[in-house]
Chains A and B, each alone.
Chain A
Amino acid sequence: MPTNSMPTDTASVLRHLPWNIGVRKPDPTIVVDDLVRSFGGLTAVAVEHLEFQRGAITGLIGPNGAGKTTLFNLLTGFDQPNTGQWSFDGRSLGRLKPHQVARLGVVRTFQLTKALSRLTVLENMKLGAQDQKGEKFLAALLPGWRAQEREIEARAMDLLTRFKLDAKAQDFAGTLSGGQRKLLEMARALMCEPKVVMLDEPMAGVNPALTQSLLEHVKNLREEGMTVIFVEHDMDVVRDISDWVVVMAAGRVIAEGPPESISQNKDVVDAYLGAHHDAPLTAEEEELVLAEAEVAIAAEKAEDADLPTETTRGL
């Protein structure tokens, strides 16, 4: 068992693994076992065994409704499974609240960006910092938190500069473009100094010019020793940056392996194009699949935006 798996050789370590579903990873950080979540009759997630390698970038792909977001929700405490358990660095995470999971170092972003509109970009960032003295009621009344606040602000400005948002620091986050919000959300997650970052479609809706810099940021996270799990529809992106790819369909993991293994996998092709299709994906077909996926995402978004479920829609 290689305990000294440096970020740089993670990819090569993974390359030697068999392309089996549920394969053991040399140094797993998150381990999922028999996780089931169903909504009424619909089984949204049913994962038997899944491990995420520490220090690697794992791409999670699958058609819409595959259960990727639901899996994220379960792993980060935003939803409770019907059965099953999962652990982070050997510590069981079942029954933990979202904020407790985040404090352990597993931080996620959302498919539909959650920029805090009427807070400035800088305030958004500062919110991400952990263990702030001034976040306690009584301490907030005394000036003791100011020194820490200055440190946090410096760190926030630093990150904003890296994400090219420093010019916007004093603007309301609500004035940012969709792509900038995605950037902000990722930068804000980094303010938590997480060990694992889970990004739900970080590239969706981001203009192509920004995509490249976002990709660079994700790669940098790996260099800094973070584990990245991300959901993405664009196959090129997935091929480009992931060390390992997990494919979900109808709640199950139907394949996992290095990026190049995926487009040759018959189950994956079937999942995307429906059964009775036995050739590997051609470039045009891939385009088609992606276009369909995008339409479906857009529809899903419109739907989500109208759900009367979520709380704070202010005046």
Chain B
Amino acid sequence: MSEFLDILALSVKSLVSQSAVFFALMGVGLNLHFGYTGLLNFGQIAFALLGGYGVAISVAMWGLPLLVGVLIGVVAAFVLALLLGLPTLRLRADYLAIVTIAAAEIMRLVFRSTPATPITGATRGLSGFGRDFYAVAPFETQRTYDFLGSTWTGREIWAVLVGWILVTLFSLLIWQLMRSPWGRVLKAIREDEDAVRSLGKNVYSYKMQSLVLGGVIASFGGMILVLATGSANPDQFQNANTFLAYAALILGGTARVLGPVVGSMILWFIIAFTDAGLAALIRNGIIPSEILSGPDVANIRFVLVGVGLMMLLIFRPQGIFGDRREIVLDAH
């Protein structure tokens, strides 16, 4: 019983953990791309990677101040969005999908390659760039605190707090944009871009703005992730994470301001709960270790997310809180 409570506490913690923040930020950006504009960006993780490494490289390798690092991360994400968008936003939707997924894979491979060692630290990654970040925390970051039934380090709390502030700010931004005529054009593009063109809107430019803004939001996610974990490592930026973000977004509901935020929290609650639960079942011999061993548990989450993503789209495409009405409109 106490073991169950521990698992529950751990799961509650992950509702607001750095992972939830990270995927919420990725999801807010994706929601702009996919939910509102209909852009199939499958390389969202690349934007996060640039944000994260932007900070890590600037501070750890070049000795620049943290804020300059943040700026560099944002600019890098901006440039990536332009580079990806320029050739593909004029083309069919699935081309953007292929190009973005390819770009994300390219970035990860390049950042972890041996020739890149002097800049990115290759597979070892980078660390030791968080000092300035924790120095400005308004409370003691060296001690631990008890909170929501679990123990938190001061550093964790600070990173997560800053993360949720960013989530709030960006959500407000999206909310304001989406009730403006600008947002109306984006939503119209999602429905039928030729119709929008015929009404005198420069569709290409709007798609580009959407891609850039969503990418920049994701880059902040990457920054929070590396600051919270204290290291930037290429394998934190696996392609599969983009799809976790999609799962979170669709779970919470696309084209809703809070969809990705709520979705990400729920997703991480579920993941933490199954991770810890399975681990406990294995530890207690209820699941024989021949069938499932400790290291497999981390993989199970992706299996569950993959299957969950399919099930959601097949049976509940509007997300768990969504309104079926909007979806039916789209079936033909």
Contact = CB atoms under 8 A, between A and B. Distances in A.
Interface of A: 76, 78, 97-99, 102-103, 107-110, 114-119, 123-124, 126-128, 130, 132-137, 139-141, 145, 149, 172, 174-175, 185, 188-189, 191-192, 305, 309-315
B330 A127 contact: no
B324 interface: no
B81 to A, nearest CB: 14
B171 interface: no
Contacts of A309: 92
Interface of B: 38, 92-93, 173, 176-177, 180-185, 187-203, 209, 250, 254-255, 313, 317, 325-327, 329-330, 332
The residue among B93, B188, B250 with the most chain A CB atoms within 10 A of its own CB is: B188
Contacts of A115: 195
A140 B193 contact: no
Contact of B182 (A116, A137, A175, A189): A137
B192 A118 contact: no
A136 B182 contact: yes
Contact of A314 (B180, B182, B190): B190
A127 B184 contact: yes
B38 A102 contact: no
Contacts of B190: 118, 312, 314
Contacts of A110: 194-195, 198
Contacts of A137: 177, 182, 209
B330 A313 contact: yes
Nearest to B325: A172
Looking at chain B's contact residues, the main secondary structure is: helix
Contacts of B38: 311-312, 314
Contacts of A102: 197-200
Nearest to B173: A141
Contacts of B329: 117-118, 172, 174-175
Contacts of B203: 99
Contact of A114 (B195, B250, B313): B195
Given A140-B177, A140-B183, A312 B192 contact: yes
Contact of B188 (A76, A116, A130): A116
B332 A314 contact: no
Contacts of A126: 181, 184
A119 B188 contact: yes
A76 B182 CA distance: 24
Contact of A127 (B177, B180, B185, B255): B185
B214 to A, nearest CB: 13
Which 6 residue pairs spanning A and B have beta carbons closest together? A174-B329, A134-B181, A140-B180, A114-B195, A102-B200, A140-B182
B253 to A, nearest CB: 11
B181 A114 contact: no
A107 B199 contact: yes
Given A140-B183, A145-B181, A312 B197 contact: no
A181 to B, nearest CB: 11
Given A118-B330, A305-B332, A315-B330, A128 B199 contact: yes
A183 B311 CA distance: 38
B200 A130 contact: yes
B182 to A, nearest CB: 4
A137 B195 CA distance: 21
A135 B199 CA distance: 13
The residue among B93, B255, B330 with the most chain A CB atoms within 10 A of its own CB is: B330
Contact of A140 (B181, B189, B195): B181
B39 to A, nearest CB: 9
B176 A141 contact: yes
A311 B202 CA distance: 16
Nearest to B199: A128
Given A132-B181, A137-B182, A118 B187 contact: yes
Nearest to B189: A312
Nearest to B202: A99
Contact of A192 (B191, B193, B200, B332): B200
Nearest to A141: B176
A74 to B, nearest CB: 14
The residue among B195, B201, B202, B255 with the most chain A CB atoms within 10 A of its own CB is: B195
Contacts of B92: 309-311
The residue among B38, B198, B317 with the most chain A CB atoms within 10 A of its own CB is: B198
B32 to A, nearest CB: 12
